[in-house]
Amino acid sequence: MNILTFDIEDLWVYDHYKIGNKEDYIPRLDSYLNQILDLLDERGFKATFFCLGIMAERYPEVIKLIADRGHQIGCHSYGHQFLSDVSREEFEEDTCKAISILENIAGNKVTAYRAPAFSISEKNKWALEVLAQNGILFDCSIFPAIRSFGGFPSYNTDRPAIVKYNGITMKEFPISLTDMLGKRIAYSGGGYFRLFPYSKINKIINRSDYVMTYFHLRDFDKEQERKTKLVDGENLILRYFKNYYGLNSCFSKFEKLIRENEFVSLERADTMIDWNKTDIINV
């Protein structure tokens, strides 16, 4: 199965990191979102949209639009703080606040979660307990390899599994990875999707029986202002690769991907899995 998910955060990201003027980027991001929703209708697909609480608070109409078109609303935290930077208490507060904002707007129970930057790791497994206590049934926060932020290399599968931790159970849908140059890396979203040629990504998808995607509107926005001011110790070439490489062709690549493959939402994927046969992983 191919699971289609988006992280809906960019109106806040552009705001926060001062990427261009609101008058310019709001219509552009709205237009990408509308094109995506139309394309999904055309294909008869539903997707899961992990939405940021602070963005939902500022732009509730965006979340409402997605929910009204029949898609699943998941939670992507309130303030987009990486779990490595917060205490358990802060995480509890952030999660509870985000879920309540999203549920109020969408009018549905929020049962799916993705941590900012896939930041559930060895060091903060307690996050799974907090999520379960807040009604989350499906987590999509584990990146089962080494990563600059987060990453959970000792979690040894990139397939759906039941995770057990301290008495709670969670259905875990990790990000899917592929082997490249001796490393396990992602290919199905973010900068990786911009970087690799379509033919390569499509080939991996066709031979996989589980694919978890993660797209952002900013990965499609080729007109976005390129930031050249670096933070301390940052490398300009690396920054360019991470943020802007492949932007010009990314949306057409995405459209092709959607037209040539079948996708389902997370809640639909849940019903397609025989959970009695999946791995049980004690973390």
Among positions 116, 174, 189, 191, the unique one binding Zn ion when judged by CB under 5 A: 116
Among positions 3, 4, 6, 7, the unique one binding Zn ion when judged by CB under 5 A: 7
Smallest separation (angstroms) from Zn ion to the CB of 106 = 18
Q: What mask of x and - would describe binding to Zn ion in positions 8 to 27, judged by CB under 5 A?
A: -x------------------
Nearer to Zn ion, 116 or 144 (CB): 116
Stretch that binds Zn ion, among 2-10, 127-135, 150-158, 236-244 (CB under 5 A): 2-10
Nearer to Zn ion, 7 or 172 (CB): 7
Nearer to Zn ion, 9 or 207 (CB): 9
139 binds Zn ion (CB under 5 A): no
Long-range contacts, stretch 277-281, CB < 8 angstroms, 24+ apart: 278/159, 278/160, 278/161, 278/162, 279/157, 279/159, 279/161, 279/162, 280/161, 280/162, 280/163, 280/164, 281/155, 281/156, 281/157, 281/161, 281/162, 281/163, 281/164, 281/172
Smallest separation (angstroms) from Zn ion to the CB of 144 = 18
Smallest separation (angstroms) from Zn ion to the CB of 276 = 33
At 168, give phi and psi (nearest 5°).
-105, 155
Tokens representing 97? 């606040």
Judged by the rule CB under 5 A, the positions of this chain that interact with Zn ion are 7, 9, 116
